[in-house]
Amino acid sequence: MNGIPMEHGLMLAAILFALGLAGLMLRRSMLFILMSLEIMLNAAGLAFIVGSTAWNQPDGQAMFLLVITLAAAEASVGLALMIQLYQRFHSLKLDNVSRMRG
């Protein structure tokens, strides 16, 4: 592990985060948006791991466990919402759900 410099790890995390963010903003299907969210969460988790390894602190590892737990909860809620969405609208396009406009 020590062979990889911290900058590379953080760069990878930033690229993954940017990819996830781009997917979140550009994708229309809710399935892909959820996947983008997972990528962003994992990017953040990777940044924690990289940081904890570089400074030899266990806090980052513990934080990553919390992030995984959060991601699991988020996935279950998100998937439940997605099933509801499909049952109501027979489609996964998120732009259809815009009835709560001002």
Residues ≥6 apart with Cβ < 8 Å to 86:
92
Query: What long-range pairs does 3-8 form, CB within 8 A, spacing at least 24?
Result: 6/50, 6/51, 6/53, 6/54
Residue 93's DSSP bridge partners are 29
Applying CB under 8 A, does 90 fall inside the site for another protein? no
# residues contacting another protein (CB under 8 A)? 13
Applying CB under 8 A, does 94 fall inside the site for another protein? yes
Applying CB under 8 A, does 83 fall inside the site for another protein? no
Binding segment toward another protein, per CB under 8 A, in 21-29, 40-48, 49-57, 72-80: 21-29
Whether 54 contacts 64, CB under 8 Å: no
Indicate which single residue of 24, 31, 49, 63 sits in contact with another protein (rule: CB under 8 A).
Answer: 24
Residues that bind another protein (CB under 8 A): 21, 24-25, 28, 33, 94-95, 97-102
